Structure 1
Amino acid sequence: MANPRREFLLKALNVDSLKGLEIGPLNKPLVRNEDVQEGGEIFYLDHLPTCELKEKYKDDLSIDVNQIVPVDFVCTDGNIVGATAGNLFDYVIASHVIEHAPNLLQFLKDIQTILKPGGQVFLVVPDKRFTFDFNRPLTTFGTALENLLTNVELPRISAVYDQAAMATNANGHNLWHGIVKAEDSNLLASEATAWKAALRVHKESFYYDVHVNIFTPESFFEILKKALLHEVVFYEVKQFLDTQIGQIEFMVQLEKPKDEPNNCLKSKCLASLPKFEIESLLSPYMPQVKALSDALQNSTEIISKFQHQLDVVRKDSDNKITNLQKELKIANEMLDRKSVKIILLSIDKIYSFLRK
């Protein structure tokens, strides 16, 4: 079966001769050791050693623990630069990772630090419009900047509370095709769970692995644009795949510039940002519009059918009324004739009686 993530990656990269790092691959890395030949290398980074990951996920039926890849770098505190111990990479892969980063801008800065000049980072990012984040507010640059400047190291109370209190049992297929089912709006957790988790973060600084950063493609690039304007990071957008029909994620390839940062380089990076026309913004909703259009057309056809049936009944009723009216008229005419005869007969009888 085709893997769009691997296709996106391998379209832009020859991994055979390059040194790469994949963050949080667990049991489904996009690049495996057998993919790399001719002197290339692939390393894996995760928040726990391999044995502890297998123990953590042993009861999770969605994960085959025997397929969990060997972890080369363990990053327990979010410090990717420290965890990789001075290694530099030709490319970094983060599939469904960036949304979990407590400090989004620091994450992007750290990736830039561990990339070689001209190195690439490949991001696979969930699109909130088609995931359980459907009801959650988008992350803003202001929020991301506050987390950077205050050196946030774990998900904030707001992120932990919002996921528990707002994440729903949303179905990507149903959202794409405008199918409304009551169960899709059910919360994955509850308000009570959200409150308890928020208090635990406050009192114990407990780390909950939640979606901290909520994106659409447009909002992601708006944050990147402001990060470039304020020179927080320097990346050039090399490839972007918008959320495809029926999918829940978009993909981005960024390149660390080979040259030292300057105004000319900043302008080049800003110019590489994709432009979102109205058609692009509306395209994810086209299947839903079509579904609604089809439903409207179906309703119109049903109404037309009932109207036709009503017209037939009305015409039949009109015919019956007309016939009844004719019969009544004839009856009246007959009655009128009989009345005249009776009157004449009565007059004749009276006249005959009077003559006697």
Structure 2
Amino acid sequence: MRAARRARIVGDTDLRRGRCLEIGPLANPVVDPDVADVRYVDVVDRAGLLAHYEGNPAVDPDAIPEQHFWLTRPDGTVSTLAEAVAADAPYQHVVASHVIEHVPDMVGWLRDVAQVLTWDGALVLAVPDRRFCFDVHRTPATVGQVLQAHLDGDRTPSVRAVLDHFMSAVDYSAEQAWAGEQPPTQGSHPIDDVRRHLARQQAGDYVDCHVWPLTPRGFADLMDDLLALGEVDFAVERLTATRVGEQEFYATLRRLDRSREPSVAIDDARVALAQLRSDLPDESPPARSGDGELVPGHLVADLERQLAETRERLTRVRAARDRARRQRDRARAEVATARAAGAAARLRRRVTRGLGRRPRPTP
């Protein structure tokens, strides 16, 4: 299962080519040192991670690797990603699984990633789909919120982010979502817990939370807006739908080609992104089946996507079959022509030999 998920995250990216940085691997790194030349970075060092997740049954402390770099300075302030890894950069690949939704300043973070990548480097993302996790009641992140956080220079999650997260989170799994179960209305954090986290945020602590609730189409829209505004240095090279039964989607972002006119590179990136978005299933609310039962909209959309993929595969198979038939017919025609030419040549040789053996007439 872990190997299959890692393959889905990475896609066609060859992590063995060049050096790699993984952000926030926690206890489940996507990139193992035996697979690629990888460095790890997190908000705090390994000791800080062990202390933060002590007693959490979902995190195996023995599986947390040593962090090569961390963002929190000795004085408690938080550096940027680019500042933390500057001495070791650049990298060919940056991998971030369930990270981008946590970063306080998405625009600043994407610029940091671009800064530590090679000129043609790639950012590989695994992102939780808000529809299939505790974010289900939250509205998707907007470009206005993203730019406000950047203009405010957020180094830690803002009051807005902390409150939206802890006030709205519910106990809701992907299995429940795909089964069509309604999410609970009761939040998973008591109000006293919310107040405690808010007080920590106001005191300057780094209160980890989901800052940016996202879906595949929402992410595409957000990246398109940021490209149009000239705020990001990435083209979206790959963007997947959330698989049935799962709760995350995957994206690969490639640095824009700096040898091209920026406006042209951005326009091309937006055209390619529009195509990726059009290939994604609809994310509309649930529809009703003919007998009046609710059919989850994401399930209908996924079935429609699978049908479209099947039709596309059938079209490719038919095209390949037709090409094979044409090649076969050409080969048969060439063989027939060759045989006819051979037969004619043999006939000519026999005639020639026959003429050579004819007796000469006597004088």
**TM-score surpassing 0.5?**
yes
* Match of residue 100 from structure 1: 102
Aligned CA distance change for structure 1 residues 81 and 226 (closer, same or farther; 3 Å):
same
Which one is further off, 18-27 or 4-13?
Answer: 4-13
* Match of residue 337 from structure 1: none
Matching residue's letter, 2:248? E
Q: In the alignment, is the contact (CA less than 8 A) between 1:43 and 1:72 conserved in 2?
A: yes
* Match of residue 89 from structure 1: 91
* Match of residue 217 from structure 1: 216
Matched residue of 1:251: which SS? strand
Separation of aligned partners in 2, 1:294 and 1:224 = 30
Matching residue's letter, 1:32? D
Runs (5+) with no aligned partner, structure 1: 296-356
Alignment deviations for residues 173-215 of structure 1 (CA, whole Å, 9 cap, x no partner): 111121247xx4431102332234324423x123210111111
Aligned CA distance change for structure 1 residues 3 and 291 (closer, same or farther; 3 Å):
farther
* Match of residue 120 from structure 1: 122
Separation of aligned partners in 2, 1:32 and 1:103 = 28
Separation of aligned partners in 2, 1:265 and 1:146 = 25
Matched residue of 2:209: which SS? coil
Aligned residues: 288
* Match of residue 308 from structure 1: none
Aligned CA distance change for structure 1 residues 5 and 271 (closer, same or farther; 3 Å):
farther
* Match of residue 32 from structure 1: 32
Matching residue's letter, 1:271? V
* Match of residue 7 from structure 1: 7
Alignment deviations for residues 75-107 of structure 1 (CA, whole Å, 9 cap, x no partner): 121500000024101000010001110111111
Separation of aligned partners in 1, 2:24 and 2:147 = 24
Matched residue of 1:144: which SS? helix
Q: 2:113 aligns with which of 87, 111, 115?
A: 111
Aligned CA distance change for structure 1 residues 140 and 176 (closer, same or farther; 3 Å):
same
Q: In the alignment, is the contact (CA less than 8 A) between 1:172 and 1:247 conserved in 2?
A: yes
Question: Normalization by structure 2: what TM-score?
Answer: 0.73
Matched residue of 1:147: which SS? helix
Separation of aligned partners in 2, 1:173 and 1:163 = 21
Separation of aligned partners in 1, 2:262 and 2:278 = 29
Q: In the alignment, is the contact (CA less than 8 A) between 2:96 and 2:124 conserved in 1?
A: yes
**Is 1:60 aligned to residue 59 of structure 2?**
no
Matched residue of 1:142: which SS? helix
Separation of aligned partners in 1, 2:133 and 2:200 = 26
Q: In the alignment, is the contact (CA less than 8 A) between 2:17 and 2:92 conserved in 1?
A: no
Q: 1:130 aligns with which of 124, 129, 132?
A: 132
Matching residue's letter, 1:82? E
Alignment deviations for residues 23-77 of structure 1 (CA, whole Å, 9 cap, x no partner): 00011111101113xxxx1111111222332233232222111111121111121
Separation of aligned partners in 1, 2:21 and 2:290 = 41
Matching residue's letter, 1:223? L
* Match of residue 315 from structure 1: none
Alignment deviations for residues 208-236 of structure 1 (CA, whole Å, 9 cap, x no partner): 10111111111111111111111111212
Alpha-carbon offset, residue 10 of structure 1: 4.3
> 1:106-185 to 2 correspondence within 5 Å?
106-180=108-182, 184-185=184-185
Matched residue of 1:281: which SS? coil
Aligned identity (percent) is: 25
* Match of residue 51 from structure 1: 47
Alpha-carbon offset, residue 118 of structure 1: 1.0
Which one is further off, 7-16 or 228-237?
Answer: 7-16
* Match of residue 69 from structure 1: 65
Separation of aligned partners in 1, 2:283 and 2:289 = 10
Separation of aligned partners in 1, 2:273 and 2:290 = 28
Alpha-carbon offset, residue 285 of structure 1: 5.2
Runs (5+) with no aligned partner, structure 2: 73-77, 297-363
Aligned CA distance change for structure 1 residues 52 and 180 (closer, same or farther; 3 Å):
closer
Separation of aligned partners in 2, 1:284 and 1:102 = 29
Q: In the alignment, is the contact (CA less than 8 A) between 1:244 and 1:284 conserved in 2?
A: no
Separation of aligned partners in 1, 2:270 and 2:198 = 38
Separation of aligned partners in 1, 2:231 and 2:177 = 35
Q: In the alignment, is the contact (CA less than 8 A) between 2:86 and 2:116 conserved in 1?
A: no
- RMSD over aligned CA atoms reads 2.6
